[in-house]
Amino acid sequence: MRTVEGMSLLLSLFLHLSFVMILITWQMPPKRINPGFITVNLIEEGSERAPIIVNEPLSLKSPEVAPSLRPAEKERVVKPKDREIEREKVIEEALHAIEAKKRLEKLARLKAVISSTVTSKPLHEGRDISPPLQGLSSQRGTTVTSSPEEYAGIVKGIIQSNWTYPEVVKKGLKSRIVILVQRDGSLKITEFHSSGDRLFDYSVKNAILKSSPLPPPPEEVEIELRFSK
Amino acid sequence: MRIRVFCILAIIFLNLIWWRGNSLSHQRIYIDLTSPNPRPLALGLQLAGEGPPQALNELREVIKNDLSYTGLFTFVDERLYLEPATSAFKPENWRPLGVDAVIKLNLRQSENRITVLSTLYDVNEGDQILKKEYSAEVGVLRTLAHVIARDIYKRFTDRDPPFEAKILFVGMHEGKRSLYIMDWDGARLRRLGITAETIISPRWSGKSRLLAYTMRQDREWLLKIIDFDTMKQKTVFRSKGLTIAGDILEKDLILITHTEMDNQDIYLLDTKNSTLKKLIGGYAIEIDPVISPDGKRLLFVSDRSGSPQIYMADITGYNIKRMTFRGGYNTSPAWSPEGDAFLYVGSVNGKNQIFLQRLDSTEAIQLTMVGNNEEPSFSPDGRFITFTSDRDGKWKIYIMRRDGSGQKALTAVAGSSPVWIK
Amino acid sequence: MKGLPKNRQNLVGNSGYLFILLALITAGTVLFSCAPRKVVQEEKAPAITQEQRLPEQKVAQPEKVTPERPEVISEKPVTVTERPLEVAKISPEAAKPKRVEFPDIYFDFDKYEIRDDAKPILNDLARWLKNNPKAGLIIEGHCDERGTNQYNLALGERRASAVKNYLMILGISSSRIETVSYGEERPLCTEQTEECWQLNRRAHFVIYE
């Protein structure tokens, strides 16, 4: 009698927990900042600083793209954190990070408005504008970028600059590659969807190989690269 | 009670982190990339081993010319190489030069034979990607070089290049016309032992390995077919009126232009029975039939509209459709091997120029600008076009890439009607 | 807890311990799932080339980019040979003797109609042929270099035919007249001027007996 009631209680608890968890996780935004990698304080720093565009960091033609270090950032630089530290503290920080990111984006948008009147360089459409990142000048290093979008922008710039193709005119070729970028920037090709054209596949593969190692990502991340003509 | 509450909360928080952690590690960023920089693949080529120096040079030059003329490859200057030819391949010796792949050839010679070991290394992968051995008599070293280049080309593109193809054309010899044949790069020019007052319209069928051509002899037009397997020829038709060879459809079936009752029309000639069947006719001039690669349609020239234009019809002779509308003098159609476009010669400011037009369009791209340019013909792989041009003062055989770039003369001697033999 | 019946109380007490156990199990699972990430972080990055070769084996579909395994030397090497190319000679056309010569007549561009300025010559020609019944005539049709060989052959043929028909109207038997087209193959001049082109757009007469 005891065991039966115990089992049913266990089962009911498990189901309740699962239900609760699903509710919570569904509410979470798809891209979240990993606790421990926070650059919240950036916004608070110098508003007198020149506006910066970060999406295509490798096309450093504009003098305005000035990667500069913010002392506050350094404090938050990633270190392999001890997972044994109280979870609650971690959760708290995570919640703060989410709020901070929202603030960051909001302020960045404001900055964009200001900068568009100040600078002559046109702002890239449809992209978040964030302050410069440490990892711009060096590919190897332990410093970190602040968000997956920014990292995507950096990776795009690097791979794009390494992508060459010997022909100019061709039909609509498409190649899809998924790479797994590890914390140190080394990458692994995990999926390769051929374009059907061997030369195109070769050019795409070379673009990736030449770009390795990438700058260290904020987190081990999977990138799906879609190459097309 | 407190313990219970604590445990519930703990479980919730623990699972929270676990879920979030997992979803993060599966997080996928999407990046779209388009418009790569157009730049040929950079290759390195090294030869090592024994062999007569002129053989090494010839091997090197043929391979370099074949691959670079395609426009897909470029060769890095040998003087910049860091790795000796005899050393093993190390990618770090090549990366600083910006080389994408390295070809290392190793030669061995025994009496009259040369053996070449060809190894292709990919610098970015840091590994060999092709290794093949070839042997040939010293006399056919050029052919050997073309075969090596072909395999390298195929490795990168999975397509067949025309490096081993020959080009046949009508040239002069002692005041008369003669058939000549040469390599696709213009080398090894030789005369076939056929000479006549007039030789026109050679046509090649790779499927049956037959060459048809027309000659005029003793006030008669003769249609001749050479079997390239036996190198023997025979006359399959003769007439007083004009008869010009068109494309060979099958071993015994050939399209021809033939004049009957002062009227030039397109016929199907059955060479086995010597029977003629009129395919496309009319009061106007109908000539120059060329069959599509899939054998279902043909292009021809007709002046039924008042001026010569290119028309298309089914192989049955029906569904005739006018294809060219630009200018008042369009002749000499040639199909692309894919069957989706054709070349023709149009008059621009009194000069003949070569145009490329897609089947689904009436717009044409002008490929030549200088002098008069005629008789265009696609290479079997569709990437190159041979033609004749008088830009240098006399009519010679020329070649260019499909987009009109790389125009250069293949012969120093006069020639016309180039045909790809493969 | 107090409100519950006695046996319930005992059960609840036992369930409490169960909860703690469950919590520990969950915690343990979480720890285990998180641990590998930590390991990856601390691991040194392996050599690039090794990293990248690995996934190529994993990929399911036929990897177009992965090089085909090299051909082993022990395989029979490719032998390259050439076919000889020689074809039997043909004797050239024998030349026919000429006697009387008549001037060429000329045509308009891309046309084969007989022009008025040609008619006097054709009339003379017809008269001479009638007076020399044994003689035969070859009419050659020529074109200027514009347009392509094949088309010009047809045009030249039409020109020669047009002249032949005109002479037949004047009473010359068709059996005495032969036509041949040379297209643009036999130009009299090669300058790219209208004068030269006009000279080439001609019908030429060859009398023989």
Write the CA distances from B234 to B180, B227, C88, integer angstroms: 18, 9, 10
Whether A80 and C38 lie within 8 Å, measured CB to CB: yes
Cα B126 from Cα A205, distance rounded (Å): 13
Q: Decide: C142 and C156 in contact? Cβ < 8 Å.
A: yes
* The predicted structure's pLDDT at residue A113: 55
* The predicted structure's pLDDT at residue A30: 43
Nearest to C89 among B22, B195, B257 (CB): B195
Angle at B370 between CA B369 and CA B373, to 5 degrees: 85
pLDDT at A135 over 50: no
Please enumerate in sequence order all residues whose Cβ is within 8 A of that of C70, keeping only pairs 6 or more positions apart, or say none.
B119, B128, B129, B130, B131, B132
pLDDT digit string, tens, across residues A91-120: 666 676 676 666 666 666 655 555 444 443
* Contacts of range C17-25, beta carbons closer than 8 Å, 24 or more positions apart: C18/A6, C18/A9, C18/A10, C19/A13, C19/B3, C19/B4, C19/B7, C19/B8, C20/B3, C20/B7, C22/A10, C22/A13, C22/B7, C22/B11, C23/B7, C23/B10, C23/B11, C23/B14
Q: Which residues of A75-93 are buried (b: 16+ CB within 10 A; e: fewer)?
A: ebebeeeeeeeebeebeeb
Mutate to test the interface with C, among B120, B133, B203, B389 (most CBs of C within 10 A): B133
More confident residue, C182 or A62: C182
Chains touching B, CB cut-off 8 Å, 3+ pairs: A, C
**pLDDT > 90: percent of chain A:** 12
Whether A25 and B19 lie within 8 Å, measured CB to CB: yes
Nearest to C81 among B7, B140, B288 (CB): B140
Cα B358 from Cα B342, distance rounded (Å): 6
Residues in chain B with CB shorter than 8 Å from the CB of C150 are 200-201, 244, 257, 287-288, 301, 331-332
| Chain B nearest C-alpha distance from A70 (Å) | 27
Residues, chain C? 209
Amino acid symbol at B306: G
Partnered with residue A62 across adjacent β-strands are none
The SS3 of residue A94 is: helix
Q: Enter the tokens of residue B38.
A: 């157009």
Chain-wide mean pLDDT for chain A?
64
Angle at A47 between CA A45 and CA A48, to 5 degrees: 120
Cα A120 from Cα C55, distance rounded (Å): 45
* The predicted structure's pLDDT at residue A57: 35
Nearest to B14 among A31, A87, A228 (CB): A87
pLDDT at A158 over 70: yes
Cα A86 from Cα A88, distance rounded (Å): 5
**Which residue from A minimizes the CA distance to C33?**
A83
Whether A178 and B25 lie within 8 Å, measured CB to CB: no
Cα B244 from Cα B286, distance rounded (Å): 12
Segment A147-153 mean pLDDT: 82
Whether C67 and B200 lie within 8 Å, measured CB to CB: no
* The predicted structure's pLDDT at residue C19: 56
Cα B355 from Cα B368, distance rounded (Å): 8
* The predicted structure's pLDDT at residue C36: 38
Please enumerate in sequence order all residues whose Cβ is within 8 A of that of B266, keeping only pairs 6 or more positions apart, or say none.
B246, B255, B256, B257, B258, B278, B279, B280, B281, B286, B287, B289, B298, B300, B317
Cα B374 from Cα B351, distance rounded (Å): 10
B196 in contact with chain C, both atoms CB, cutoff 8 A = yes
In the stretch 84-123 of chain B, residues with CB closer than 8 A to chain C read 115, 117, 119, 122
Give me the DSSP letters along B291-303: E-TTSSEEEEEE-
Cα C182 from Cα C172, distance rounded (Å): 23
Cα B290 from Cα B333, distance rounded (Å): 7
| Chain C nearest C-alpha distance from A187 (Å) | 7
Q: Which residues of C34-46 are buried (b: 16+ CB within 10 A; e: fewer)?
A: eeebeeeeeeeee
| Chain C nearest C-alpha distance from B242 (Å) | 7
**Which residue from B minimizes the CA distance to A211?**
B124
Tokens 């968890």 belong to which residue?
A: A21
Mutate to test the interface with C, among B242, B265, B349, B353 (most CBs of C within 10 A): B242
Q: Decide: B332 and B374 in contact? Cβ < 8 Å.
A: yes
Mark the ranges of chain C whose per-residue pLDDT is less than 70. Answer: 1-99
pLDDT at A35 over 60: no
Write the CA distances from A22 to A209, B20, B30, integer angstroms: 39, 11, 26
A6 in contact with chain C, both atoms CB, cutoff 8 A = yes
| Chain A nearest C-alpha distance from C11 (Å) | 6
Strand order through the sheet with B373-378 = B373-378, B384-389, B396-401, B408-409
Q: Decide: C176 and C201 in contact? Cβ < 8 Å.
A: no
**Which residue from A minimizes the CA distance to C42?**
A80
Whether C86 and B193 lie within 8 Å, measured CB to CB: yes
Residues in chain B with CB shorter than 8 Å from the CB of A148 are 27, 29
Strand C78-80 to strand B127-137: parallel, antiparallel, or no bridges (unpaired)? parallel
Whether A228 and B37 lie within 8 Å, measured CB to CB: no
Q: Decide: B395 and B389 in contact? Cβ < 8 Å.
A: yes
Residues, chain B? 422
* The predicted structure's pLDDT at residue C14: 54
Question: What are phi and psi for residue B137, nearest 5 degrees?
Answer: -75, 150
Structural element, H or E, at residue A79: none
Nearest to B7 among C20, C37, C183 (CB): C20
Tokens 């008269």 belong to which residue?
A: C127
* The predicted structure's pLDDT at residue B257: 93
| Chain C nearest C-alpha distance from A207 (Å) | 12
Cα C76 from Cα B361, distance rounded (Å): 50
| Chain C nearest C-alpha distance from A108 (Å) | 31
* The predicted structure's pLDDT at residue A10: 82
Chains touching A, CB cut-off 8 Å, 3+ pairs: B, C
**For each of chain B's 422 residues, which pLDDT tens digit applies?**
677 777 777 777 776 666 555 544 557 888 898 888 889 999 999 999 888 888 889 999 999 999 999 999 999 999 999 999 999 999 999 999 999 999 999 999 888 888 999 999 999 999 999 999 998 888 889 999 999 999 999 999 999 999 999 999 999 998 889 999 999 999 999 998 888 888 999 999 999 999 999 998 888 899 999 998 888 889 999 998 889 999 999 888 999 999 888 889 999 999 888 899 999 998 899 999 999 999 999 999 999 999 999 999 999 999 999 999 988 899 999 999 999 999 999 999 889 999 999 999 889 999 999 999 999 999 999 999 999 999 998 899 999 999 999 999 999 999 999 999 98
**Which residue from B minimizes the CA distance to A29?**
B20
* The predicted structure's pLDDT at residue C3: 45
Question: What are phi and psi for residue B396, nearest 5 degrees?
Answer: -130, 170
* HEC secondary structure over B174-189: CCEEEEEEEECCCCCC
Cα C208 from Cα C203, distance rounded (Å): 16
